[in-house]
Amino acid sequence: MQVRKQPRSEQPGFRDFDLPGVVPSRQKRSRETTLALLRAGAEMLRRRSLAELSIAALCTEVGATVGAFYSRFESKEAYFNALMALAARDGEQRLAEIRRPSPDAGLDKLCQIIVSGIIIWMRNHEGVLRAALQHDDTRPDKWTAFKALAKATTERATPLLLPAMGKGRKAAKVRTIAFGFQIVLGTLVNAILNDPGPLSLGTKEMETRLAGCLLLLLQAEISQSTPR
């Protein structure tokens, strides 16, 4: 993905605090405390579950009081909703910035760019994504934003990949692309949730292997379109 490197892509910025359940503040110091709480929570969720995330420990981490936390967030639930919304917003931003690297880019290059972009986003928000997945059974509505983002990713990538797959059998190719992303995203979700190995989300080989799998699947569809 041709994504511009901007600090706000990995961390929420001040202008991102217009979220349900988050009390807005006009004071810079107060906004900085809100930002610090969000950053610290996202980082702590990399090492523990949402249930294990203590508000007191979170506040200690950033040097804030529990009262300061609840003056900004209506509840722990509202706080987590804000973390999920910011992760989804970052994904949407990255998605909007996808650009074809060059008109003559090959299918292998496109697969690598797109898969790499997805994995980078998931790495940046790994703890939040894991917590959301772990709560999906009890709060199915909380994963909706990410399901929509997965669908949007497929829709955004399809017109980039189709020209590199040649002419003919468009409907079949579109369906193959969609299935390819189902495989890619399913593998990454499993890596986040269970980390069964042999490859983990943080390994470069995960990017290479998944991009290769997507490429092979698309090439198999192309071969069916080629006259023999």
Distance between CA atoms of residues 4 and 151, nearest Å: 22
Identify each DSSP E strand in 17-139 by its residue range: none
CB 9, CB 93: distance < 8 Å: yes
Mean pLDDT, residues 204-224 taken together:
96
Evaluate if residue 16 carries a pLDDT over 70. Answer: no
Determine the pLDDT at residue 47: 93
Q: Average per-residue pLDDT in the chain?
A: 85
Predicted structure pTM score: 0.83
Q: What angle do CA 57, 50, 188 make, to 5 degrees?
A: 130
| Distance from the Cα of residue 218 to its chain's centroid | 23
pLDDT digits (tens, 9 = 90+) for 180-212: 999 999 999 999 999 999 999 999 999 999 999
Q: Which among 155, 214, 209 has a CA at the least distance from the CA of 183?
A: 214
Cis peptide before 198 (omega within 30 of 0): yes
